Amino acid sequence: MSTIISLDQGTTSSRSIAFDHAGTPLASSQQEFRQIFPQPGWVEHDANEIWASQLATLQSLKQKLLIAGIKSAQAAINSIAITNQRETTVLWERATGKPLANAIVWQDRRTAPACDALRKAGKAALIQRKTGLVLDAYFSGTKLAWLLDNMPGARKRAENGELCFGTIDSWLIYKLTGGHSVATAGKALHVTDASNASRTLLLNIHTSQWDDELLKLFNIPRAVLPRVVPSSGVVGMTDAALLGAEIPIAGIAGDQQAATFGQACFAPGMAKNTYGTGCFMLMNTGTSAVASRNKLLTTVAWQGPAGTRSAYALEGSVFMGGATIQWLRDGLGLIKTASEVEALAASVEDTGDAYLVPAFAGLGTPHWDGYARGTLVGMTRGTGRAHIARAALEAIALQSTDVFEAMRADSGIALKELRVDGGACANNLLMQMQADFLGVPVVRPKVTETTALGAAYLAGLATGFWKDAIEISAQWQMDRRFEPKMSVPQRQAKLARWREAVERSKGWAQ
């Protein structure tokens, strides 16, 4: 049996998942890695730990496949796909693969003042017109500029071509194709796909090229940038020393774009929401890059083989989704495991008018307030653990509802349902809350590993493992449909009260 292996490199863990031709997960391996918080507002990862954890899961998965009776990696693995946390920024030595510093994570807010300065200089409209993005510290451009300015000698070395910048896909591909060893680093590839490149503030999404005006604005030397390649297409081969054979790397996409593909949202107007560390809602807009009037992002969804047009999407980004539940567990100690939150929240009928706004890393869509901070309001002496747990679940759904409303306003499309995926979509109470607050059905698929599956589909289309999008669409199956139960007046009152709470959180760290 031949499989496609997806490397799903996330914000808190690295995973490898093998899929068969039916799109069914056969086996997987997962490993967490450290979260580093050097000071308030800063979030970092050790890029070497990311690579080590990803390689460990890949090799563990290979062993599971061999135990299952597949005799060699070459027979077991048709190709490798990569999907990754986006925007997280790595800067490393081209000749050795050694990172110059910890990776700056997408949640990091250290470059908010740099964004403020560009905004005051009147550059926000230019940036949005070319990149489809709002000017925010969330994206890679200002993170890379910070590294070049703060690591000794980095800017000169970057100009001389000695350094490589990349988001996590670039870093993994470099390592997989030879950069894992100084002896083979010379043959390592330095590439990224269009979906990841579109999250840097440096790519003109209308041309799919690095933009000279933007590079000058952010003071980024072109020599440090990776080559932009299609999301679906063989870009290179893994070094044989890693898996015992050279395996094609054939699919690359940022995690949210990959999930959209995995949900088979191929037609304009189809939308999905992923409940991971954050929550990310994307709606396919076809081959048109639709400009947002409601602070959504316009992004490259995916790009097929050379000569084909990019598909675009409107996106809303919520920074704290499942991470809010992690905070209940690790920060407050209210629960021992994330799975406990559903029963605890369901033990009370409502929050008692308490609202949690989890703006721990600022607010994303549609507010884009990098200085907002987490706020818990409306507590009384009667507020207990269960009320706070319920408020946390509601906050995830309410933030996504704000994004949904902005998407509906931008697109002019009355969205009839929302497809969902990600770890937290297994929480039935959360999904019912989401349907209630949206006022439309929420649909959960049988295979919820849609991020990894979407990357696998992109690889499989490139290698002929799957024929076309029609074959892929036929594999999508519904697990459960959550119908809204809340009345319209109740929904409107809930959203109004939530938006009052959000206003209380804004500008706190300014």
Residue 164 lies in a domain: yes
Last residue of a domain, one of 257, 291, 314: 257
C-alpha separations of 17 from 59, 184, 185, 258 in Å: 11, 27, 26, 14
- What integer pLDDT is reported at residue 89 of this predicted model? 98
Q: Torsion angle, CA of 393/398/399/403, rounded to 10 degrees?
A: 140
Identify the burial level of 404 via C-beta atoms within 10 angstroms of its C-beta, where 0-12 means exposed, 13-18 middle and 19 or more buried.
buried
Residue 456 lies in a domain: no
> 377 and 242: one domain?
no
CA–CA dist 489, 487 (Å, integer):
6
Instruction: Tell me the H-state helices in 464-507.
Output: 469-473, 488-505
Last residue of a domain, one of 208, 238, 257: 257
β-partners of residue 88 are: none
Give yes or no for a contact between 289 and 132, defined as CB atoms under 8 angstroms apart: yes
- What integer pLDDT is reported at residue 417 of this predicted model? 87
**Contacts of residue 249, Cβ cutoff 8 Å, sequence gap at least 6:** 79, 80, 81, 82, 173, 176, 177, 234, 235, 236, 237, 238, 459
- What integer pLDDT is reported at residue 63 of this predicted model? 83
Give yes or no for a contact between 321 and 276, defined as CB atoms under 8 angstroms apart: yes
Instruction: Tell me the H-state helices in 42-94.
Output: 47-67, 73-76
Nearest CA to 190 out of 209, 162, 171, 215 is that of 171
Q: Report residue 288 as tokens.
A: 């048109």
Nearest CA to 396 out of 488, 280, 227 is that of 280
Give yes or no for a contact between 299 and 313, defined as CB atoms under 8 angstroms apart: yes
CA–CA dist 30, 9 (Å, integer):
10
Query: Do you know the residue count of the chain?
Result: 510
> 220 and 341: one domain?
no
> 241 and 368: one domain?
no
β-partners of residue 36 are: 44
Give how far the C-alpha of residue 196 lies from the chain's centroid of Cα atoms, to the nearest Å.
10
> 353 and 241: one domain?
no
> 251 and 332: one domain?
no
CATH value at residue 144:
3.30.420.40
CA–CA dist 426, 46 (Å, integer):
30
Residue 463 lies in a domain: no
CA–CA dist 344, 363 (Å, integer):
26
DSSP assignment of 205-231? TTTTEE-HHHHHHHT--GGGSPEEE-S
> 179 and 253: one domain?
yes
Residue 471 lies in a domain: no
**Contacts of residue 461, Cβ cutoff 8 Å, sequence gap at least 6:** 232, 251, 304, 468, 469, 472
CA–CA dist 139, 496 (Å, integer):
30
Collapsed DSSP state (helix, strand, coil) of residue 115:
helix
CA–CA dist 300, 132 (Å, integer):
9
**Contacts of residue 39, Cβ cutoff 8 Å, sequence gap at least 6:** none
Strands (E), 39-154: 44-45, 77-84, 90-93, 103-104
- What integer pLDDT is reported at residue 18 of this predicted model? 93
Counting as low any pLDDT under 50, the low residues of the chain are none
> 334 and 223: one domain?
no
Identify the burial level of 267 via C-beta atoms within 10 angstroms of its C-beta, where 0-12 means exposed, 13-18 middle and 19 or more buried.
exposed
Render pLDDT for 27-37 as a digit per residue (tens, 0 to 9). Answer: 999 999 999 99
Residue 188 lies in a domain: yes
Q: Report residue 290 as tokens.
A: 């639709």
153-165 burial, b if ≥16 CB within 10 A, otherwise e? ebbebbeeebbbb
- What integer pLDDT is reported at residue 422 of this predicted model? 86
> 249 and 329: one domain?
no
> 209 and 116: one domain?
yes
> 83 and 184: one domain?
yes
C-alpha separations of 359 from 142, 191, 369, 427 in Å: 21, 33, 9, 22
Residue 146 lies in a domain: yes
- What integer pLDDT is reported at residue 510 of this predicted model? 78
Residue 286 lies in a domain: no
Considering just the CA atoms, what is the radius of gyration of the chain in Å? 22
Domain that holds residue 388: 322-415+487-505
> 341 and 231: one domain?
no
Give pTM, 2 decimals: 0.85
Last residue of a domain, one of 229, 257, 285: 257
- What integer pLDDT is reported at residue 308 of this predicted model? 59
> 341 and 250: one domain?
no
Report the number of distinct structural domains present in the chain: 2
Residue 315 lies in a domain: no
